[in-house]
A and B are shown apart, each in its own frame.
Chain A
Amino acid sequence: MKTDRRPLVLISPALLWLFGLMVVPCLLILVVAFFRRGVYGGIEYTWTLENIALVFDPLYFGIFMKSAAIAGLAAGIACVLGYAAAYAIASMPRRHQPMLLFFAVLPFWSNYLVRSYAWIVLLNREGLIANLARWIGFDGELPKMLYTEPAVVIGLIYNYLPFVILSCYAPLSRLNPEIAEASRDLGASAWTTFRRITLPRTVVGIATGFVFVFVLSIGNFVTPALLGGGQFQMIGNLVYAQFLTANDWPFGAALSMVLIIIMLGLLLLQAVITERASGGKAYTDG
């Protein structure tokens, strides 16, 4: 029997693309991370583990931890907000839901930089929020808003919230409303029904959303650069600096490698969770 070659033909361009532009550069980074930095910024082709060791130097590892904390905070808040929004959309009449979803992800369609600059306009000392506060009669000293950690967190949440809304909406919209009704019928309050029926059935969406926002945030360098100000460093900024200003490619590569491993690990975990959940074997409720 002749095997059907059509799937192979159809998938080849995408695979080649991924291989050429993702796998190969990643492997290059992997290799570069084990070379020594040249005196004038080039690469000296002698093997070393120094770069990897430097990543775990308290100075740089601290930045790693801070990035993880910020990404975790942004992902956590985005999940709460996104789940609530998705829940609200899923409980609207079916025919209105596509339009509401469209509006929820609308910010996605504008440029990332433009969206981030909009927050500068809002948070700035002479910005909209400051003016609004003054206009309603507040005349004390306003706390500094722009170029702070919370500004970075807000920026990240704002940018990635649509991901969470979409990932939570998917399982919420697939829920059979009669299952929640059955819970009420058996004596559960609305809150208990949410906790024991709705949430376990949709936690996959939250997990997916969390991992996405976390992964996109921890490596982000645009938002910290714009909203965190010049000296605010997240791991993305550090990598950026190694490649483009410090000219220390091997160290930049080592940082990137650790970051990529963390991201891949999380994405894999998320894939496993989703797979298990869709197989129905993921959770034992109780």
Chain B
Amino acid sequence: MTYPLLSIQQVEKHFGNVSAVSGVTLDVQENEFFALLGASGSGKTTLLRMLAGFEALTAGDILLEGTSIAQLPPNRRPVNLMFQSYALFPHMNVAKNIAYGLEMDKLPKQEINAEVEKILDVVQLTQLAKRKPEQLSGGQRQRVALARALIKRPKVLLLDEPLGALDKKLRSDMQLELKRLQHEFGITFIMVTHDQEEALVMADRIAIMQDGGLLQVGTPNDIYERPQTRFAADFIGVMNFLPVTLSGDTLQAANGITITSTQTIDLPNGSAAVAAIRPERLHVDTQLDNNLAGDVVNIAYHGLDLLLHIKTTLSDKPIISRMTADVAERHCPTIGQQINLGWSAKDTRIFPA
């Protein structure tokens, strides 16, 4: 019988009467890049700290390759955590920080030095080996923290918002860098982030956390294209929501407009619901299954694409439609212009109101 690398089973954590994590069950496979995505306070850090061994479980179990590690102290778990604050040792230089984990493994000095040199090269810190953490930039500190955890070659590397403190440009460079390192080292990564874009870009699978529980687990494509709840739909990417009423097989929106969807929902006739459509599925001046007229009230330029804000009679908030740069070049509406939006029935998702 084969076990998943890491198996989290009905894990709960209460702080007094605050429930930080509740009923989390999750399997993570070998070599997976797994992202935990959730709003602030949703329990992401608490879950990671339980995996690393810093918080006792209130209930449940954690298995690594089929064996429970829930009772092991942090120093006896083949799991390493990269802290949100990096937690570098301020009184040791970069090389000493990185060597620390191997010294704890009682490796011979020669071997430690060789390993440290190797990893310094991988994270491009060779020149800074003798510097103290306080003499490093945020991005350099982040790489030291990463190297310090990676050098232990843990079975699972836990990363708590590893890119949180970096600016946008550096951040996207490091996203690629992290993915590359994960491949190179062949280590399972569980990364916490509250940036949904980062999760979509980097992860093999994503779990959305809300109020200490898992809302949905799936591949980035699953999560983006088939959100299971309205919260998930709203949390990931941009989504347009239109209030509707169920009537037979169709959705009745305001002003007698009918919206069609290939998705069905198990609610009685006449109940309130919301239709959800992604901006990139709304095509300007194209006749499709659903069509809707509106006025352009704003155009947000993003370089790669344009976001049109269109005021319609169906919702208070303007509807957002995405136009790629090349389409916009040929045919760009102006503010105040009336346009028609068309979309396919398969692109309408329905959620209970």
Contact = CB atoms under 8 A, between A and B. Distances in A.
A221 B295 CA distance: 92
Interface stretch (B96-104, B176-184, B242-250): B96-104
A183 B89 contact: yes
Most buried by B among A183, A185, A283: A185
Most buried by A among B54, B87, B91, B132: B91
B91 A181 contact: no
Interface residues of B, number: 27
A22 interface: no
Interface in B266-299: none
Interface residues of A, number: 24
A48 interface: no
A179 B75 contact: no
B87 A184 contact: no
A179 B90 CA distance: 9
20 contacts: A178-B85, A179-B88, A179-B90, A182-B89, A182-B148, A184-B54, A184-B75, A185-B74, A185-B81, A185-B149, A186-B75, A186-B80, A186-B100, A186-B101, A186-B148, A186-B149, A187-B104, A280-B90, A283-B91, A285-B96
A189 to B, nearest CB: 6
Nearest to A179: B87
B83 A183 contact: no
A182 B87 contact: yes
B152 A187 contact: yes
Given A181-B83, A186-B100, A186-B104, 7 more contacts: A179-B90, A181-B74, A181-B87, A182-B148, A183-B100, A184-B75, A284-B93
Contacts of A181: 54, 74, 81, 83, 87
A197 interface: yes
Given A178-B85, A280-B134, A185 B75 contact: yes
Contacts of B90: 179, 201, 280
Given A176-B85, A192-B104, A285-B96, A185 B91 contact: no
Interface of A: 176, 178-179, 181-189, 192, 196-197, 200-201, 280-286
B52 interface: yes
A282 B75 CA distance: 28
Contacts of A182: 81, 83, 87-89, 148
Interface of B: 52-54, 73-75, 80-81, 83, 85, 87-93, 96, 100-101, 104-105, 132, 134, 148-149, 152
Top 9 closest A-B pairs, CB basis? A187-B104, A186-B101, A182-B87, A178-B87, A184-B74, A187-B75, A179-B87, A188-B104, A184-B75
B87 A176 contact: yes
A280 B74 contact: no
Contacts of B52: 185
A186 B92 contact: no
Contacts of A200: 91
B265 to A, nearest CB: 46
A186 B87 contact: no
Contacts of A284: 93
Nearest to A192: B104
Contact of B105 (A183, A187, A196, A286): A187
